Amino acid sequence: MSSIIVSELEYGPPGADQLFFDVSFKVSPGEHAAIVGANGVGKSTILRILTQEIDADGGEFAIGGTMLNMTQDVGMSRPNDTLREMLIEVAPSNLRKAGRALVAAEKALAAGEDDGMGYATALSDWGDLGGYDLETKWQASAQRSVKTPVDDFSTRLVSELSGGERKRLVLDLMLTSGADVLLLDEPDNYLDIPTRTWLEEQIKACKSTILMVSHDRKLLERCATKIVVIEGSGCWVHGGSYVTFPEAREKRQSLLGDDLKRWNDEERRLFHHMKIMKQRAAQNFKNATKANGAETRWEKFVAAGPPPPPVADQQIYVRLRGADAARRVAKLERISIDNLFMPFSEEIHHGERVGLIGPNGTGKTHLLKVLSGENQPTEGQITFGPRTSVGVFTQVNNRPDFLGRECLDIVCDRISEEEKAMKTLARYGLRNNARQKFETLSGGQKARLEILRLEIEGHNVLLLDEPTDNLDIESSEALERALDGFEGTVVAVSHDRTFLAQFDRYIMITDDGEVYALPDFDVAMAGLSEPDKLAGLRLAKPLTRD
């Protein structure tokens, strides 16, 4: 049967404390479950264990039927691969092995290292296992997903497709594969809003059992039928939609806070875990660190005494104060960039929240870079009002000035007192990362550190490029609360519909280079799904000029 059963799973990185333990849950045939939790609690690690990429320290799991897996960086980490090499990595395991062998044999033949026999064998194995049938499916998915025709998967490079096209191609292939079980790690990343809407419809129509990791709250609300929550080094399950999850968690936290039995149960669980780790350490000295960590965790818990608190929420407090500025922050006059969109004029006023929306590849990030002064427009000019101070959040957290530096050192550039700097890091959930170098942080931790820098630099205009892309849900909500009280102007590129819903108005760029001013969220979402009807929406004012 196409189910996923996980029992008492535990894992700790080599030489470190346990990341999680006693993780148990079941995904029944046909269910679409989502794993949620703070950045760094082990959501992707669980998927890696289920695919046997890494081994768990303990526990068991069983997956019924055929399984396909998509990692969050699919198509992104190796842009010089061919499309065939990318798609081989998301093929069933037997075809994946045969496909890799075929690619290696082709390269050996081209380099004169094979007389042709190895290639002939690899080609035969590929065909016998169903490789040619799979290639037919590739072609069908490419026709639905890629704007330009794909004539040869063995020569077309991954880099020739946009990030959204790569992701959509893989998702289309997997969701129409008929596989019994699909593991999807952040399937919404790199997708624009129309494609996210497409993804939701595909997931809802898919009969496969799905276990996914996602921070997109709209996708979770519309697609997840079960929520697996990783927190407190363990997990619990909400057997319903994400719509009802916040209320269920609040109720659970309340019950935990009042329940003395919870303390006794937790103490016994930690003690039992410590004993097991001690036994393993006696058999293998490599387990000594984890055993000592388990003992320390139990001792600290007992020393704290009853009653225990509920599972601690992330304490993320973002304070974006801003400052006064001229009423007109920026005046854009006949702006155009590399023929990405037609020249348009517009004004941005103090205190506005303006969302830049539209399909991938239409020039939104380019426009943001022109507003920041990083690039110059091909045509037109931008005039900023007096007392304007611009802060920029980059989509890929590309901060070469932070490389090789510890988080505390980066914050101390602006906050000279170390104690105050540590308190600031703590508000962003980064206290334990104070001595960690920037490049070793997770994507979500890098994003939080960049937002922290924006706070302490005191800008009154914020330009944000996909600020919630790598943030967990609680961090996204903290950022939204901060922006709500920010005394300044915000211009943001985003595909996060929950985040965008709090903005005042929107500038949309279409695939045809048209630019529109859209007055509210509902009109903006309607325009994204049917841009050809914008001219008929009287609330939508086209900004393009002949």
Q: What b/e sequence results for 165-192 when a residue is b if at least 16 CB atoms lie within 10 Å of its CB, and e otherwise?
A: bbbbbbbbbbbbbebbbbbbbbbbbbbb
Does position 20 have pLDDT exceeding 60, yes or no?
yes
Residues 6+ apart with CB under 8 A from 443: 39, 397, 469, 470
- Determine phi and psi for 261, rounding to 5 degrees: -60, -35
Show the CA angle centred on residue 90, arms to residues 87 and 95, nearest 5°: 85
Ramachandran class of 475: left when φ > 0, alpha when ψ lies in -120 to 50, beta otherwise: alpha
Q: What b/e sequence results for 384-395 when a residue is b if at least 16 CB atoms lie within 10 Å of its CB, and e otherwise?
A: bbeebebbbbbb
Cβ-contact 225, 12 below 8 angstroms: no
Q: What b/e sequence results for 140-150 when a residue is b if at least 16 CB atoms lie within 10 Å of its CB, and e otherwise?
A: ebbeebbeeeb
Closest-CA residue to 515 (of 378, 382, 358, 360)? 358
pLDDT tens-digit readout, 31-82 = 999 999 988 888 999 999 999 999 999 999 999 999 999 998 888 878 889 9
Tokens of 108: 């050996």
Query: Which DSSP letter does residue 19 get?
Result: S
Cα–Cα distance for residue pair 498/116, rounded to 1 Å:
56
Cβ-contact 31, 217 below 8 angstroms: no
Closest-CA residue to 34 (of 473, 506, 540, 374)? 473
Cα–Cα distance for residue pair 465/396, rounded to 1 Å:
9
pLDDT of residue 539: 34
Does position 398 have pLDDT exceeding 80, yes or no?
no
pLDDT tens-digit readout, 479-532 = 788 777 777 899 999 999 999 999 999 999 988 888 999 988 998 998 888 877
pLDDT of residue 31: 97
Does position 223 have pLDDT exceeding 70, yes or no?
yes
Tokens of 479: 């950022």
Closest-CA residue to 445 (of 488, 399, 501, 503)? 399
Residues 6+ apart with CB under 8 A from 206: 32, 175, 182
Cα–Cα distance for residue pair 195/163, rounded to 1 Å:
12
Q: What share of the chain is helix, strand, coil (3-state, %, to 5)?
A: 45, 20, 35
Cα–Cα distance for residue pair 62/24, rounded to 1 Å:
12
Q: What would the DSSP string read from start to end of 238-249?
A: E-S-GGGHHHHH
What order of strands is seen across the sheet that includes strand 20-27? Answer: 20-27, 4-11, 58-63
| Beta bridge pairs of residue 413 | none
Q: How confident is the model at residue 320 (pLDDT cuts 50, 70, 90)?
A: low
Cα–Cα distance for residue pair 202/517, rounded to 1 Å:
30
Distance of CA 54 to the CA centre of its chain: 21
pLDDT of residue 327: 82
Listed in sequence order, the DSSP H helices in 41-81 are 43-50
The 3-state DSSP class for residue 230 equals: strand
Cα–Cα distance for residue pair 173/144, rounded to 1 Å:
10
Tokens of 184: 């999807």
Closest-CA residue to 324 (of 282, 260, 385)? 385
Residues 6+ apart with CB under 8 A from 92: 66, 67, 68, 179
Q: Which H helix or E strand runs over 86?
A: helix 83-88
pLDDT of residue 319: 57
Beta strand pairing call for 353-357 and 505-509: parallel
pLDDT tens-digit readout, 338-389 = 888 989 999 999 889 999 999 888 899 999 999 999 999 999 999 998 888 8
pLDDT of residue 527: 87
pLDDT of residue 24: 95
Tokens of 511: 């695939």
Ramachandran class of 361: left when φ > 0, alpha when ψ lies in -120 to 50, beta otherwise: left
pLDDT of residue 244: 94
Distance of CA 51 to the CA centre of its chain: 19
pLDDT of residue 545: 45
Cβ-contact 35, 212 below 8 angstroms: yes
The answer, yes or no, to whether the previous bond of 400 is cis (omega within 30 of 0) is: no
Its pTM stands at 0.80
Q: How confident is the model at residue 546 (pLDDT cuts 50, 70, 90)?
A: very low
Q: How far is CA 239 from CA 28, 244, 256, in A?
A: 11, 10, 18
Q: What is the mean pLDDT of residues 9-15?
A: 85
Q: What is the mean pLDDT of residues 166-188?
A: 95
pLDDT tens-digit readout, 75-121 = 887 888 999 999 999 999 999 999 999 999 988 988 888 778 888 99
Strand segments, DSSP code E, in 141-290 are 181-185, 209-213, 226-231, 234-238
